[in-house]
Structure 1
Amino acid sequence: MAKTFFKRHWLTLLGIAIGALGGFLYWRFVGCTTGTCPITSSPVNSSVWGAIIGGLLFSSFRKEDKVSINK
């Protein structure tokens, strides 16, 4: 069951991982110097938002499953 899940959603999971890494790196090197920015002031917030954006972006490249309708 888990093997089929990873096989079906590997591109989205890759996008989540890359987005989380990108969000963390953005916090680390750019971030918010004053601490008042709601997203970039915390590494957790920045990583979560990066993971969401990465997952959404990479999932948009997934091919749709072809479903045949037999009448």
Structure 2
Amino acid sequence: MNKKGIIITGIGVVIGLILGYAYYHYIGCLSGTCAITSKPLNSTLYGGLMGGLLFNLFVTSPKKKE
């Protein structure tokens, strides 16, 4: 992966972390039995993972020279 791809994926992780915590804060799980949204750390890390994966879809691989 080139430098541009790492930057795009990193931006996706940061946005995912923010949105993951926002999901916990505003929606969350009131009963405490939800695996992901019951704790802020779990929700934030899951959001970061999903954000990184989503933004990684937009990274193009460099063309190989023959």
Instruction: Give the TM-score of the pair, scaled to structure 2.
Output: 0.90
Question: Could you say which residue in structure 2 is the equivalent of 1:40?
Answer: 37
What CA RMSD, in Å, does the superposition of the two structures yield over aligned residues? Answer: 1.3
Partner Cα distance (2:37, 2:8) in 1: 26
- The unaligned stretches of length 5 or more in structure 2 are none
Q: In terms of Rg, which structure is larger?
A: 1
Q: Which has the higher contact order (CA 8 A, sep 6+)?
A: 2
User: Match for 1:27: what amino acid?
Assistant: Y
Count how many residue pairs are aligned between Structure 1 and Structure 2. 65
1:10 matched to 2:3: no
Question: Once the two structures are aligned, what percentage of the paired residues are identical?
Answer: 40
Displacement after TM superposition at 1:54 (Å): 0.3
CA deviation digits over 1:9-53, x for unaligned, max 9?
A: 100000000001100000000000011101000000001110110
Stretches of 4+ moved more than 2 A in 1? 5-8
Tell me which of 2, 20, 35 is aligned to 2:17.
20
Displacement after TM superposition at 1:59 (Å): 0.4
- Return closer, same or farther for 1:6/1:64 CA change in 2, 3 Å cut-off: closer
